[in-house]
Every structure is written in C-alpha cells, then in structure tokens.
Amino acid sequence: MNVEHLTLFVRVAATHNISLAGAEFGLSPAVSSAYINKLEASLGVKLLHRTTRKVSLTQEGIDFLPHAEEVLSAVEMAQASVGSGSYLPQGTLRITSSASFGRMHIVPALKRFMALYPGLKVDLRLSDSIVDMVEGGFDVAIRNAALNDSTLIARKLARDKRMILASPEYIAQFGAPSTPAAIQQHGFICLAGLDHLHFGSAKKVERVKLNGALKVDNGEAARDACAQGMGLAVSSLWCAYQEMQSKRLVPVLTDYPLVTETAIWAVYPSSRLLAPKVRVFIDYLADYFGEQPYWEATR
C-alpha cells in the first residue's frame, strides 16, 4: 500500500475534492485521480463516490479512513523515532483560530515556529465562527470556547481572564458603576451572543442582563469602541492588555470579578496517535505562552 496514495485519500476525505487535495501535494488532477484509482484497486473496494459536483466517501471509505489516518501517523512517528532526533515534521499544518486571537497572538508566534520547522507549511484560517474541524480538514483549532464535541480532545494553553473596562474619558463624563446592577444605567458595548454577565463576590453570584445601543460581533471592535469612550465593555485580557498598559482602558468593578470558565485551548480530533506536526505545534504554543502569558505579565 502506497503512503502517498493514503495521504492523498485522507486529504480528499477532508476537502471532498480530488483536484484540490492533489494540488496541496503538487499533483495534477489526472495524477491525483490515478492515485485514488490505484488505492481502490489495491484494496479491491470503491472508496469514493464521484460526481461532477462533489466527491464523498462510500461506506467502505468511511470505514477505511480512521485506519488510513493511523497508518500515516504511525509512519510519521516512526520517522521521528530514528535519526538521533534529526527528523523534522513535514507537510501542511492546517490551523483554525478565532479572528482576534489568531491575528494578535498566533500570527506573531508563527515566525519562530516556522523557522524551527522549515519542512512545515502552515495554512491558518481565522474565523469567529466555530468551524467543523473534520469537515474543514483542520489539524488543530485554537479556541476560547467550551468543548462540546466528544470526538475532540482539548489541551489548555492559557487562562482567559475577562473583565469590565472603560476609558478614562468615559469615567470622567459618566462615572464608573459601583455595583454590577449599576451597569444597566451605563452605556454598554455588547458582544453578539453575550446577553448576560455573572459577577462573583464574597456573598453571592449576581446575574446581570446587558442592554446597550451598540452590539458588535468581534472582540477587537468592542475593545476599540470602549477605548473611544462609547461605553463599558467586557474584554479578555489577551485582547485589551496593550490598551490597559497605555491607560487607554481601565478596569471597573474590580471587587466583583466576572465568573467565567473560559480558557485558551488547543483542540484536535481524537486519535490514538497524534501526528508529530500537531504535537510540536501544541507544545510550542504551550511554551510560547507559558505559565504566565505575556499579556498578564504586562499589566
């Protein structure tokens, strides 16, 4: 069984497109189709349904896919185990991340990572929507949302501390809320999908409904509007640390910390074998952020 044929099949299963998958490996559409035909011939089964508009897995293809993935992982791990540590991961590492965190923290981290692993190509896709990793063909996702899919595995990379912020100009004009409930008497820049906040104190947890004239779907946009004095906003420290360092934003309600369970996670599909390219990237990010991420150290 040819490893190149297996590799192409796994990418076709992810992309649902033989030509697109083949192009990732510098193969023409004709050669890509030939590779799949040879793999099917060697197995004696049909792995793909082909139409002019879509490629999908047959039931045999669905059954064969996890075994193909394990074979490829085993091959890569076997290569990594020899050569006195000289082996470096190869191929394309496909990453998805939220737009704000990816732009602010993943992109800067990639410069040294790609210098350490010159044989790797990185395909980074930024989106504030939670994408389907398997459908999108991603190797790893960097998320700050809860893990709801039991077929995925998550490794915590860093804390995600959130707080209520305001600009000094806003506070000078309107004052600062003294209690969580007082937020409702202030302008608030709401994040789409976040309708309530939970505050903790020594006595209880208080739930506050958010009402505001401005709603945005991006954390950086909420932060920037807050810095311009348009209202209070909730922000992650990793998003607002530079504005806090320059005093363009200051925390309010510090006696009532937000109750959240958010963190920065590296998420990847479950497998008995983790591909070396994924492992080295996750390990690199864990070391890059460290026990105390730089956005916390600069407060």
Residues 233-265 pLDDT 10s: 999 999 999 999 999 999 999 988 898 878 999
What architecture does CATH give domain 91-159+262-297?
3-Layer(aba) Sandwich (3.40)
Question: What percent of the chain is modeled with pLDDT above 70?
Answer: 91
CATH 1.10.10.10 fits 3-80, yes or no: yes
Mean residue pLDDT across the chain: 87
Least confident of 23-27, 87-91, 111-115, 163-167: 87-91
Tell how far CA 291 is from the center of its chain.
19
**What is the location of CATH 3.40.190.10 in the chain?**
91-159+262-297, 162-252
Q: Give the confidence band of 81 by pLDDT, cuts at 50, 70, 90.
A: low
Q: What average pLDDT score do residues 199-209 get?
A: 81
- Pinpoint the alpha helices (H) of 139-236: 168-174, 219-227
**What pLDDT shows up at residue 149?**
62
pTM above 0.75, yes or no: no
Q: Is the pLDDT of residue 228 over 90?
A: yes
CA-CA distance, 156 to 264, in Å (whole number)?
Answer: 6
Q: Give the confidence band of 50 by pLDDT, cuts at 50, 70, 90.
A: confident
Least confident of 3-7, 76-80, 240-244: 76-80
Tell how far CA 79 is from the center of its chain.
28
Q: Is the pLDDT of residue 287 over 90?
A: yes
Tell how far CA 235 is from the center of its chain.
18
Q: Which two tokens stand for residue 217?
A: 């779907």
Q: Is the pLDDT of residue 84 over 50?
A: no
Q: Give the confidence band of 216 by pLDDT, cuts at 50, 70, 90.
A: very high
**Highest mean pLDDT: which range of 9-18, 117-126, 193-202:** 117-126
Q: What average pLDDT score do residues 83-104 get?
A: 80
Question: What percent of the chain is modeled with pLDDT above 90?
Answer: 50
Candidates 2.60.40.420, 3.90.230.10, 3.40.190.10, 3.30.420.40; CATH matching 162-252:
3.40.190.10
Q: What average pLDDT score do residues 73-101 get?
A: 76
Q: Are strands 120-126 and 91-97 parallel, antiparallel or unpaired?
A: parallel
**What is the chain's alpha carbon radius of gyration, rounded to the nearest angstrom?**
24
